[in-house]
Structure 1
Amino acid sequence: MKSTSTWNDTLSIGIPLLDLQHKQLIDQMDRLLEAIVVKKETQELKSILSFLNMYVNNHFSYEQSCMELHKCPVACQNQAAHARFLKILQEVNQKIDQKESLNLISVRIKKELLDWFVSHIKSIDIRLTPCVKK
């Protein structure tokens, strides 16, 4: 059972490396949700989460440095949003460790990580594009 990807071209901000990173992150969140739906072992969920955590930290750090370098007016707002995302990702990790309901965890991943991330790209990250193009 292969689910469709959440990524689509409307999420492209026109900065190739950031678009690639965004696609990778969305694909990993899709993969995590899929693993929960098909009831993969906890170890596989932890493996996906571990990669997601590493990748998201690298991405957020790179994106933030771009915003600061190009004097993007939403750099501070972006940093705060990233901190909130990382906190939720950590809570999801803990809930999986504590063997809490995967159905509840998947709802949280979908709503507070994946849907939030899509919205964040469209509302915050897109505002970096004109700063870079100057």
Structure 2
Amino acid sequence: MAIGLPLIDMQHKQLLDQMDELLEALNTKQDPKQLVHILGYLDMYVNNHFGYEEQCMNLKKCPVAGKNKAAHEYFQTRLGAIRQMIDNYGSSELVARQVSVELLEWFVNHIRTIDVKLSEMP
């Protein structure tokens, strides 16, 4: 899954670990306060990582920089929707499925199709 840029690879691993932790918390029906804590950390880390990655793409004049930014905005919208689902429904199979598909699978695909372009830049 690595794209060959150590800092970004480390950040991707952290984000995937946090999404896994959220999924585990949902599947084990942990306290809603724990879910809020995980979501808060994930939201903060996503903002920092996306900002750094977008800055790198802009500096390297990466041709997918605009597509990357739009994809990040989409992810943040979905993260907000999942936060709302957790507020409304707490831990449920539906929310766990949404996290798996809309966050984890989406993020892995994003790394493989868009983020990898950054490592191809001189």
TM-score of the alignment, normalized to the shorter chain, above 0.5: yes
**For 1:50, what is the secondary structure of its paired residue?**
helix
Q: Match of 1:7? A: none
**For 2:89, what is the secondary structure of its paired residue?**
coil
**For 1:124, what is the secondary structure of its paired residue?**
helix
Letter in 2 for 1:66: C
Runs of 4+ in 1 over 6 A off after TM superposition: none
| Distance in 2 of aligned mates of 1:130 and 1:29 | 27
Q: Is residue 46 of structure 2 the alignment partner of residue 47 of structure 1?
A: no
| Distance in 2 of aligned mates of 1:77 and 1:36 | 31
| Distance in 2 of aligned mates of 1:73 and 1:63 | 13
Any gaps of 5 or more consecutive residues in structure 2? Answer: none
Q: How many residues are treated as equivalent by the alignment?
A: 122
TM-score normalised to structure 2 length: 0.97
| Distance in 1 of aligned mates of 2:7 and 2:92 | 33
**For 2:118, what is the secondary structure of its paired residue?**
helix
| Distance in 1 of aligned mates of 2:55 and 2:92 | 35
Q: Is residue 64 of structure 2 the alignment partner of residue 74 of structure 1?
A: yes
Determine which structure has greater relative contact order: mean sequence separation of CA pairs < 8 Å that are 6+ residues apart, divided by chain length: 2
Q: Is residue 75 of structure 2 the alignment partner of residue 119 of structure 1?
A: no
Q: Match of 2:93? A: 103
Q: 1:34-83, CA deviations, whole angstroms, 9 ceiling, x for partnerless residues? A: 01111100000110000000000000000000000001000000000000
Q: Match of 2:79? A: 89
TM-score normalised to structure 1 length: 0.89
Letter in 2 for 1:90: G
Any gaps of 5 or more consecutive residues in structure 1? Answer: 1-10
1:33 maps to which of 23, 27, 43? 23
Q: Is residue 1 of structure 2 the alignment partner of residue 14 of structure 1?
A: no
What is the CA-CA distance between 1:102 and the residue it aligns to? 1.6
